[in-house]
Structure 1
């Protein structure tokens, strides 16, 4: 039964995306913060459980980034809709994930099977995104931070999104060239 635990945790994160989005749109920041924290914890727990228990599966390897991307898409879209983040910031974050997804589909169609493995930069990106969203939701319940701290967090969020997105594009472009060269 324990072998299903990592995938169950990832599935929970996938299912939390829509309630989190609805709570943000309803501006129920306390509940959104609780759900957001739970989603963030599941992101750490599923990988830990898979490593600790030794239960890795292709399904889990594919489901984890899908859950991450859906959670980020819904969260940033909703934060932008209620104007807690500028649309441009949400576009950078969501755009990064769309580029990765489209790139993965193209790679699969044009080159071959894809290894599902997050880079260290991608893991850092997810951590920054989760922390940014938690901070933003918490700020709706707490006294405001100095503007420069929120601006700094936003710059960090954008920078890591761009750098980690570029890393994926460069890494997978190199793999595609190597695959095509070895096939010739």
Structure 2
């Protein structure tokens, strides 16, 4: 193992934390759940720091890091919905947005051009609200804490930024696909004209 593999290992560790996190959440062990989330957050910050500080970025890392975060969030959200702490419409909204982005990315990659994961500012804000909502729900279940109004506000913030970031992704990559297709068509037409000119001469 080399040093540059550490960020990917930390991302892999966050994926492995999904099972124990879902288990303790379902058992309503909220204090332990909070500690697992703290560990996941520290590993997320550490792998990002190491990747940038020592130029240990990699293609695998650019995929693993957001995938690990997304799997942790969506699995926690589903568990909390089953326990009655989150509305199902929010789960459907978050999942639908992620599915649209994934299908769009695959379509762009295979039909248009090479796809690079580029989280937008709205997407980063949406992820931040999702994390804060997850933590707030867990804290709200701890003895002595009652922050249900904050939880309710965060639910709607997550919903709004989920919709807006989804629209932003579709718009951004749709325009990019249109430009690539337009440039290819222009290049094809130019090449065809040159071929016709050569043929006639």
Normalised by the length of structure 1, the TM-score is 0.92
Structure 2 unaligned regions, length at least 5: 186-201
SS in 1 for 2:28: coil
Q: Distance in 1 between matches of 2:135 and 2:151?
A: 12
SS in 2 for 1:114: coil
State how many pairs are aligned: 184
Q: Distance in 2 between matches of 1:178 and 1:142?
A: 55
SS in 1 for 2:146: coil
- Kept in 1: contact 2:7–2:61 (CA 8 A): yes
Name the structure 2 match of 1:75: 76
1:80-99 correspondence runs (5 A): 80-99=81-100
Q: What is the CA-CA distance between 1:181 and the residue it aligns to?
A: 0.9
- 1:118-137 deviations in Å (ceiling 9; x for gaps): 22222222121111101111
Structure 1 unaligned regions, length at least 5: none
Q: Which has the higher contact order (CA 8 A, sep 6+)?
A: 1
Name the structure 1 match of 2:175: 174
Change (3 A) 1:100 1:142: farther
Name the structure 1 match of 2:195: none
1:16-165 correspondence runs (5 A): 16-145=17-146, 147-165=148-166
- Kept in 1: contact 2:94–2:162 (CA 8 A): yes
Greater Rg by CA: 2
- 1:7-31 deviations in Å (ceiling 9; x for gaps): 1111111111222112211211111
Q: Distance in 2 between matches of 1:43 and 1:59?
A: 15
The range that moved more, 91-100 or 172-181, is: 91-100
SS in 2 for 1:85: coil
Stretches of 4+ moved more than 6 A in 1?
none
SS in 2 for 1:182: helix
SS in 2 for 1:175: helix
Change (3 A) 1:147 1:63: closer
Normalised by the length of structure 2, the TM-score is 0.84
Q: What RMSD over aligned residues (CA atoms) do the two structures have, in Å?
A: 1.6
Q: Distance in 2 between matches of 1:128 and 1:41?
A: 17
